[in-house]
Amino acid sequence: MSTLRLAIVGAAGRMGTSLLQNIADTPDLEVAAAVVRPKDLVLDALGPQQITPTTTLSTDEVDLVIDFSTPSACLEVASICARSKTPLVSGTTGLSPKELQELTKLSENFALLHAANFSVGVNLLARLVEEASRAFGDTADIELFEAHHRHKVDAPSGTALLLGEAAARGRNLRLHDVAAWSRQGHTGPRADDEIGFQVLRGGDIAGEHTVYFCAAGERLELTHRATDRGIFARGALRAARWLVHQKPGAYSMADMLFGE
């Protein structure tokens, strides 16, 4: 069995740490580079493998890059991958629509799988949400709730946006036309097509999402709870094993899981 040599960008972060731990248990994967910000160089060795970190990404001797960092770092990494045609799995969230467009444009030159959530459960949930939204049509009001740990810097979560887009698609709507990102004061009654978002931040919550379909006389609640961020790391590693065999272009978790 040949080993897949990975560069991990954001290796000193929460997801980077979880990736290094999960890779240590997998004989078919190897960490070729652990890329961190200069401030994290105080850590002289990372993960169970005791990898010496570096501050610059080189794709020499690397089969695939995995990035869990920040939007600006993600785009820098994508440019490097585009130049060297190295596949990239990225889970970084909080990219603006313009940054997402830039990322997709860059991926004409390399295989990219960018996903707001690498858990199988959430990607199945997105399918169920689209189906429920289509079935209820305009007979149900759609609301989303998400909760994450106190360190999370973007809101609503990338996963909440992914679920909101699935709900909007089921009703042939565009999320950005109908999203109610916050409510306060004299808001007036709810618009029929509105998709509302509620956000909680606190403690060490790994990630919870509920999509509500509130109809007259009944309410459907579809919930996913992550209890360990290892599910995202293992999902990203599964994506890496799949992506390395794909042609250049932008792929989604649905492409991998459902062959779309």
Tell me the residue nearest to ligand NAD as measured from the CB.
Answer: 13
Residues 6+ apart with CB under 8 A from 213: 132, 133, 136, 140, 141, 142, 219, 220, 221, 222
Reported residue count of the chain is 260
Q: Is 38 exposed, middle or buried (0-12, 13-18, 19+ CB in 10 A)?
A: exposed
Task: Take residue 212 and report the two structure tokens written for it.
Answer: 């509500």
If binding is defined by CB under 6 A, does position 92 make contact with ligand NAD? yes
Residues 6+ apart with CB under 8 A from 195: 142, 143, 144, 164, 167, 168, 173, 175, 178, 179, 180
The set of catalytic residues is: 148, 152
Binding mask 4-43 for ligand NAD (x = CB under 6 A): -----xx-xxxxx------------------xxx--x---
Candidate residues 22, 59, 69, 86; the one interacting with ligand NAD per rule CB under 6 A: 69
Are β-strands 29-35 and 4-9 bridged in parallel, bridged antiparallel, or unpaired? parallel
Measured from the CB atom, the residue of 12 and 65 that comes closer to ligand NAD is 12
The nearest distance, CB 128 to ligand NAD, in angstroms, is 18
Stretch that binds ligand NAD, among 65-73, 100-108, 170-178, 244-252 (CB under 6 A): 65-73
The nearest distance, CB 188 to ligand NAD, in angstroms, is 33
Q: What is the CA radius of gyration of the chain?
A: 19
Interacting residues with ligand NAD between 98 and 137 (CB under 6 A) = 115-118
Question: Which residues are at the interface with ligand NAD (CB under 6 A)?
Answer: 9-10, 12-16, 35-37, 40, 68-70, 73, 91-94, 115-118, 229, 232
